């Protein structure tokens, strides 16, 4: 994930109930989400890599397959989200559900929006993700 300062598009779906003002767009390297910090009001963007989107689509935390970024699950809202903070130390919520991640990923693949490098990284994760899902008693 990388923090940036701009984004375009409208983010819709279950995960953003109560999270108005979240915008999103697909890029060759990932899914870029933008929102204002609730603490200081500054616009913040986060690039969620395609391999991370694949993990979320599989209901697997990216850190379970060795990625550096830490994701969490909000049980009440039933969303997954990367644990990130604004420069003011305010927490930023960039929510995503597995169902939403599947749709985002499918649309990006169908529209040819994923870079060859990101596609290769996703292919390398398919085995580890399948092993985690099998250990949890789920089918990949």
For the chain, the average pLDDT equals: 84
> What number is the average pLDDT over the span 78-99?
91
pLDDT at 14: 47
- Asked if residue 115 has pLDDT above 60, the reply is yes
> What number is the average pLDDT over the span 117-137?
91
User: DSSP character for 62?
Assistant: G
**Of the candidate ranges 1-10, 57-66, 106-115, the one whose mean pLDDT is the lowest:** 1-10
Q: Which residues contact 60 (CB under 8 A, 6 or more apart)?
A: 129, 132, 133
d(CA 133, CA 140): 6
pLDDT at 19: 53
pLDDT at 137: 87
pLDDT at 40: 93
pTM of the model: 0.81
d(CA 9, CA 85): 22
Q: Nearest 5°: phi and psi at 36?
A: -90, 140
Percent of the chain with pLDDT over 70: 84
């Amino acid at each position: 994930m990388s923090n940036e300062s701009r984004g375009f598009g409208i983010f819709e779906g279950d995960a953003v109930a109560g999270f108005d003002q979240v915008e999103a767009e697909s890029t060759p390297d990932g899914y870029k989400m933008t929102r204002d910090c609730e603490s200081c009001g500054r616009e913040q963007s986060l690039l969620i890599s395609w391999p991370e989107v694949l993990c979320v689509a599989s209901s697997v935390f990216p850190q379970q397959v060795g990625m550096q970024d830490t994701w969490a699950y909000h049980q009440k809202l039933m969303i997954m989200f990367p644990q990130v903070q604004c420069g003011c130390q305010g927490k930023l919520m960039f929510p995503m559900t597995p169902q939403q991640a599947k749709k985002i990923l499918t649309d990006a693949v169908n529209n040819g929006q994923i870079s060859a490098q990101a596609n290769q990284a996703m292919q390398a994760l398919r085995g580890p993700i399948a092993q985690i899902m099998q250990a949890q008693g789920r089918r990949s």
